[in-house]
Structure 1
Amino acid sequence: MNSRVTAFTLLELVIAIAIAATLAVFAVPSYQSHVARSRRVDAASALYRAAQFVEAAVSNDATALPPGLDQAPPLGTAVYRLRALPADDTNGGYSLEARPVETGPMRDDACGTFVLDATGLRTNRGVDDAVVKNDNDCWNTR
């Protein structure tokens, strides 16, 4: 009887591990940036939904956002908390902000807090309320 044992050689195993490691090095950061981008899109979308609510409720002087409009994503664990800010001379009647939850995954994001006002001005503020970005990188929904 001729019995043959088949198995991986050490070289084949090392090559397979090297390929898996190379894929992980490129795939994990790409996946993390995709997740962060989708969370930013959630925040921007939530601000637009809240703005529609505030626009419709202007006659009722509603300043508090109802449940479901006060966080992003609207269902599940909040990544951003939304709130309406009072009117001033520059915001056109109201301003909304989506601030990352302090213990959440976006707390150290470069985009910081998303701000949308009644004039349509979109900005992002950092921890010290300074404007960190005023371009479309954070608001890009494509």
Structure 2
Amino acid sequence: MRCRHAAFTLVELTIALAIAALLTSTAIQTWSRHHERAQRAAVQAALVSTMVEWERQYARTGDSSASASVPNHISGYHLITNPCEDRALVHCVEVVAQPVHPGTGCGSLILRSTGERFTQIGNARQPASRACWP
């Protein structure tokens, strides 16, 4: 009687590892997109919060040059308040979230006190798309 050892062959092991690698790469890509969207949502909430704080200070003091307290807990972004480029400070202020690493697809997220939303990559500013501002 012949004794046969039960084991995996090299081909079977290679196929199993290839399938595991494929599933892992798909999971990492999905997680990465989800993480980016979650971080962008946190930044959008911080932009709105900063804008509300600026408007509250303006309503309380009447001073449009008073800077709002900018939260510094948003990882991956710097938040800055500026007057709008084409309007007087009394009429418009904008909060800009600049990414620390410029690899994000949306670039800087900009919220104006007029309700306008923009994205800016380099010097090109454009109205925000639904992918960047849902």
Whether TM-score is above 0.5 comes out as yes
Deviation >3 Å, runs of 4+: 3-7
What whole-Å deviation, never above 9, does each CA across 1:66-99 have from its counterpart, x for those lacking one?
Answer: 4xx1452xxxxx3111111025527833111000
Query: TM-score if structure 1 supplies the norm length?
Result: 0.75
Residue matched to 1:116:
111
Say if 1:133 and 1:12 are closer, same or farther in 2 by CA, change over 3 A: farther
* Mapped partners of 2:82, 2:39: distance in 1: 22
* Mapped partners of 1:110, 1:133: distance in 2: 14
SS at 2:104 equivalent: coil
* Mapped partners of 2:78, 2:17: distance in 1: 42
Alignment of 1:4-23 (within 5 A): 6-23=6-23
Task: Look at both structures and tell me which one has the larger radius of gyration over its CA atoms.
Answer: 2
Give ranges in structure 1 of 5+ residues lacking alignment.
Answer: 73-77
What whole-Å deviation, never above 9, does each CA across 1:30-73 have from its counterpart, x for those lacking one?
Answer: 2221111112112111101111111111134421524xx1452x
8 Å contact from structure 1 (residues 111, 132) kept in 2:
no
Matched length: 127
1:24 positional shift:
2.4
Q: Tell whether 2:124 aligns with 1:126.
A: no
Q: Percent identity?
A: 32
Residue matched to 1:24:
24
Residue matched to 1:56:
56
Give ranges in structure 2 of 5+ residues lacking alignment.
Answer: none
* Mapped partners of 2:111, 2:88: distance in 1: 12
* Mapped partners of 1:112, 1:90: distance in 2: 25
Say if 1:96 and 1:84 are closer, same or farther in 2 by CA, change over 3 A: same
Query: TM-score if structure 2 supplies the norm length?
Result: 0.79
